[in-house]
Chains A and B, each alone.
Chain A
């Protein structure tokens, strides 16, 4: 068999280098996307955990309470609990560096003397002894930087650095340099150590702690100490192992990661069709060769195996190259994904995209695992070629008018798709499982349409054959080429159908992503309009509230209130917390201050009434994703973990919230402050007095406080623009896959047209012999490409519309709990259709040129 592979297949490959290269490239691209996404997903899963592990040092247990932290007074309770050996308190947060735009330091405020029991900080130089440490603590502007950071930004010992803190810009002096070991390795060395009280002031957490790292006495069991601590803390903070804490926080990104996986599935699906198409084309081309081999005594199963082995050989080469390309692609993808995660979830240290053995296997398995099944059907067709084929002249016989088995299978798949989609919510337990079933239903729908493609090609070509005949005389020239192109499609609908299916799938994927992005964007903008009615929104350190901004103390609000033109100031706070052991977000603002100028997008009932009840501190409002995840609705009571212990709040309504798909609880600020003891503010919402000019007020705020507080002031319009930019950034990987889908589709069209030209060599020769000019031949092949583009485009838009509606309205709801309005991207539809035809025409250029240049004599003698 390997001799046959060497004699026959290798020579065929060498003779058709371009087509082989296109297929190889298609596999490389598909595998690269899959490997890159797998690397990104692993980086996302492990990165937060790695950071926690590095910072946790020797700690076996951690006491924490999300972003709100807990009272410092609890430290004594923790330290004095039986079984606790060492306890190291800390506060943490990111602070922007003034001197270098875009640079942020992960500031860790620790008890400088006690911390070494948990973490081993290695200082540069021998001179940093106890005296140096005491000197460091004694001066309230001391900061220790990592050696790398110091070298990179030219900040030696003694250098001054300005940081944008919760109380405005503060100057610090570099008094020690850390070797990049342990905790100092996190975030690429953008790490700073401060003494605890200094860190607490800088991060606005006076009297509070974010975390206490613990080791336990020898002979004690971790779970026993944990139970003791939990009991003594009375719900005011949670006691967790470092790994659990990482997993919990990382679960915030589940939807994002599942979304990325969904994107890689598209690449796989498109790749499947490329392989099937290529092998089919190869079979068409080599029918005579196969017939001759059959005459010479080759067995059917040998033919089958030969074609499968050919596909396997290209798949192995493509997959191996794809793995390498995937690693390179991952580096770029990690940059985009890292930005998204840092903006939407939390600061992550993603590092470089090295492939582990797992990703290499994923790449090889997907490339080979898709290629071999994709080659099965065309290989089976090859094995059905009769020995007579070697001497047969090209005789075409119309297919029987009955519906083919492929069409029946297509119909069956089309019927099963909505059935599966409709039963998914009742048979699957988790959101991810429902989403997965929904995606499978979408794939079945696409497969169904693909199986029906040959039938649709026949129907379409027949219809257009008749339609073109009715074109006016003035378009006679075009009409002839178009009619011959229709004829070619009609004659071999299976071959054209495969390409049209590939094109359809690519376009459907592109359209689905476009419709999803449009729907999310429009829904978000509508939500921002209803949720944020403020004229101006003020943040420190970032353009939007989230992981990137620096929370400021509430006192700053009084300063803003004094700016001429400002009528109402409200305080918005967003923190991570947990509910029933799962991460949620707590949002708060002061309805008491702003109910008269605010609106609240509630799911049912009246937003003003909900705001009034909030202001009267009668309860909390929960987001629809919270409702979807935990089943809690209006009238129920939710018990939230606060630094004051668990507190029950009555739910007064449900609201639309796209802040986090983990679920949000909206609470009146006074209640929040009371139970969480936190007066930090992530955003100041400003409503202006009638007639006040937003630009003038913005200028005044920036003039007065812009520099000392590192402020970003956004008008309502700018805020919307920032939200859209954040959203667009989160879809960057999807766009990359779209490009891959388009490239693969173009390869398919070129492949098919080349095969079509080869398959019709004799016919082309006859046409030339009876008077068809080269220009007419080129026109025919180009017209065929145009028909393929048009039909692929129309089908792709149809499939895309159905899929995107299902994805936006159902799948997204399953996965995130969010409801998005479906928006049909009409512009994208028109552009896609036109682009599909134009790209196919471009793809048809080379085969058309080849058709026109076929020597007539050898063509009519073509065997």
Chain B
């Protein structure tokens, strides 16, 4: 499902170069729940960004859903991301002026889907994440947990085959965070959706089928 082949990523920082990933090779099977852990600066988020096509590797290839996304043009990778990949961010990144349902329909609107069709799909995913009755609320009227549920709903609206989560509970209390993790796990199982989640939380990591430890841009250890 997801394959990284000798992926390197370096960033220029002034005159020097910083290595974020140093030859990472990795296979994640379809439907697998992979958790990426590691200290700050180990390359976790970079790995996620490369899988999501948000960034390009300096060397090596990234294959997702059978396609080499690291060699796609910007428009191609954007359309691929829109349909195949769902993102969940630590800071939610919702549009504050849009209601819950408007936020959830956003990817469909970007895709030019009809309003009615988009709403129907969005309503379904909002029901799925438990926000059926909050669809006309603005993000600021929702609680932290509800906001992240809304972000998950937005990520799911296209029924993606890959769900990427960057510290999804990092901004939530432990109880709410636990509920969100359960939701992601449930989605992973019920939709057979491949999940890659970056986290610092060991308890969260326990939910994964597989845990990948990164250190200094390389895989230090893999479990599961």
B55 / chain A contacts, CB cutoff of 8 Å: 855-857
- Find out whether the CB atom of B106 lies under 8 angstroms from the CB atom of A770: yes
- Find out whether the CB atom of B107 lies under 8 angstroms from the CB atom of A396: no
Query: Is B213 located at the chain interface by the 8 A CB criterion?
Result: no
Contact string against B for A residues 377-411, beta-carbon threshold 8 Å, 1 for contact and 0 otherwise: 00000000000000001111110000000000000
Closest to B46 in A: A857
- Find out whether the CB atom of A469 lies under 8 angstroms from the CB atom of B115: yes
**A397-B140, A477-B112, A857-B49 are contacts. A769–B54 as well, Cβ < 8 Å?**
yes
Please, how many angstroms separate the alpha-carbon atoms of A336 and B203 in the complex? Answer: 81
- Find out whether the CB atom of A770 lies under 8 angstroms from the CB atom of B75: no
Of B45, B52, B74, the contact of A769 (CB 8 Å cutoff): B52
- Find out whether the CB atom of A769 lies under 8 angstroms from the CB atom of B97: no
Which of A156-164, A570-578, A759-767, A842-850 lies at the interface? A759-767
Which A residues, 808 to 863, have Cβ-Cβ distances below 8 Å to chain B?
855-857, 860-861
Of B98, B114, B155, the contact of A487 (CB 8 Å cutoff): B98
Query: Is A466 located at the chain interface by the 8 A CB criterion?
Result: no
Query: Is B111 located at the chain interface by the 8 A CB criterion?
Result: yes
A434 / chain B contacts, CB cutoff of 8 Å: none
Query: Is A480 located at the chain interface by the 8 A CB criterion?
Result: yes
Please, how many angstroms separate the alpha-carbon atoms of A758 and B111 in the complex? Answer: 25
Query: Is B215 located at the chain interface by the 8 A CB criterion?
Result: no
Closest to B108 in A: A771
Of A397, A776, A857, the contact of B110 (CB 8 Å cutoff): A776
Contact string against A for B residues 50-91, beta-carbon threshold 8 Å, 1 for contact and 0 otherwise: 001011000000000000000000110011011100010101
Chain B interface extent, by class: 20 to 34
Please, how many angstroms separate the alpha-carbon atoms of A659 and B91 in the complex? Answer: 73
B110 / chain A contacts, CB cutoff of 8 Å: 480, 767, 770-773, 776
Query: Is B154 located at the chain interface by the 8 A CB criterion?
Result: yes
Which A residues, 765 to 822, have Cβ-Cβ distances below 8 Å to chain B?
765-776
- Find out whether the CB atom of B49 lies under 8 angstroms from the CB atom of A774: no
Query: Is B224 located at the chain interface by the 8 A CB criterion?
Result: no
Chain A interface extent, by class: 20 to 34
Please, how many angstroms separate the alpha-carbon atoms of A483 and B54 in the complex? Answer: 25
Query: Is A473 located at the chain interface by the 8 A CB criterion?
Result: yes
CB distance from B194 to the nearest CB of A (A): 18
The CB with the most chain B CB atoms within 10 A, among A487, A491, A768, A860, is that of A860
Of A395, A767, A774, A857, the contact of B96 (CB 8 Å cutoff): A395
A476 / chain B contacts, CB cutoff of 8 Å: 112, 114
- Find out whether the CB atom of A396 lies under 8 angstroms from the CB atom of B49: no
Contact string against A for B residues 137-153, beta-carbon threshold 8 Å, 1 for contact and 0 otherwise: 01010000000000000
- Find out whether the CB atom of B89 lies under 8 angstroms from the CB atom of A860: yes
Please, how many angstroms separate the alpha-carbon atoms of A477 and B87 in the complex? Answer: 23
Please, how many angstroms separate the alpha-carbon atoms of A398 and B96 in the complex? Answer: 9
The CB with the most chain A CB atoms within 10 A, among B78, B154, B158, is that of B78
Please, how many angstroms separate the alpha-carbon atoms of A767 and B93 in the complex? Answer: 9
- Find out whether the CB atom of A775 lies under 8 angstroms from the CB atom of B82: no
Please, how many angstroms separate the alpha-carbon atoms of A863 and B54 in the complex? Answer: 18
**A771-B81, A771-B82 are contacts. A860–B95 as well, Cβ < 8 Å?**
no
B155 / chain A contacts, CB cutoff of 8 Å: 770
Contact string against B for A residues 449-491, beta-carbon threshold 8 Å, 1 for contact and 0 otherwise: 0000000000000000000010001001100100100010011
CB distance from A462 to the nearest CB of B (A): 10
Please, how many angstroms separate the alpha-carbon atoms of A770 and B160 in the complex? Answer: 11
CB distance from B199 to the nearest CB of A (A): 17
Of A487, A774, A775, the contact of B95 (CB 8 Å cutoff): A487
The CB with the most chain A CB atoms within 10 A, among B49, B93, B140, is that of B93
Please, how many angstroms separate the alpha-carbon atoms of A473 and B117 in the complex? Answer: 12
- Find out whether the CB atom of B91 lies under 8 angstroms from the CB atom of A773: no
Question: B residues near A, CB below 8 A?
Answer: 45, 49, 52, 54-55, 74-75, 78-79, 81-83, 87, 89, 91, 93, 95-98, 106-107, 109-112, 114-115, 138, 140, 154-155, 158
Chosen A-B contacts, 26 in total, with CB atoms closer than 8 Å, are: A394-B96, A395-B140, A397-B96, A398-B97, A398-B140, A473-B114, A480-B112, A487-B97, A763-B95, A767-B106, A767-B110, A768-B54, A769-B81, A770-B110, A771-B78, A771-B107, A771-B110, A771-B111, A771-B158, A772-B110, A773-B75, A774-B75, A856-B49, A856-B54, A857-B54, A860-B54
Further pairs besides A763-B93, A856-B54: 20, Cβ < 8 Å: A394-B96, A398-B138, A480-B109, A483-B109, A491-B97, A763-B95, A766-B89, A766-B95, A767-B106, A768-B54, A768-B78, A769-B93, A770-B107, A771-B78, A771-B83, A771-B111, A773-B78, A775-B75, A857-B49, A857-B55
